Amino acid sequence: MAEVRPMPSFGDLFTDLRGDDRTMRVSYHPDRGAVVVSLWNGAVCRGSFRMPVDDVRKLTALLTEIEASVPAPVSVPADGGPGAGAAVAGGAVPPAPAVDQTGDIAGTTHRVALPILSVPRVA
C-alpha cells in the first residue's frame, strides 16, 4: 500500500455506526486536485478512493438529496413519558421499513474446497 501521510488540514474524520474503531477519512489535496476517501480500522488503512475535484459537486448533490429525504429528528422525553417517540414537527413517527428475506439464513455455512484442475498446455 502507498505511503501513509498525516491528515491534511482540510478534511474530516467520521466514525462508523458499527463502532469497532472503524473510521472514514475525507481529505482534500489541492496539489493533486483530488479528494481522498479512506476507510480505516484503528491505525490501519483498509482502502482508499481518489476522487477528482471535478466530481465533488456530483457527490455533494447526491448527499444533499439523501439529507432532504431523511425524516425530521425524533424528540423523546428523558423520562419516556407521554410524547415519547413523537416527531419534532408534531407528526407520527414513520414505521420501520419492511425487510425482505431473500433466502434461508438459518443454517450453517459449509465451505468446500474446489477441485484442483490441471492447466492445459498450449504448444
Domain count, the chain: 1
What nine digits make up the cell of 75? 424528540
pTM of the model: 0.51
Please check whether residue 11 is in contact with residue 5, taking contact to mean a CB–CB distance below 8 angstroms. Answer: no
Domain-located, residue 106: no
- The residues with which 98 forms a beta bridge, in sequence order, are none
**pLDDT tens sequence across 33-60:** 999 999 999 989 999 999 999 999 999 9
Domain that holds residue 60: 11-69
Please check whether residue 39 is in contact with residue 48, taking contact to mean a CB–CB distance below 8 angstroms. Answer: yes
Q: How far is CA 34 from CA 19, 48, 76, in A?
A: 28, 12, 42
Q: Which pLDDT score, from 0 to 100, does residue 18 have? A: 87
DSSP structure class, residue 74: B
Domain-located, residue 17: yes
Domain-located, residue 56: yes
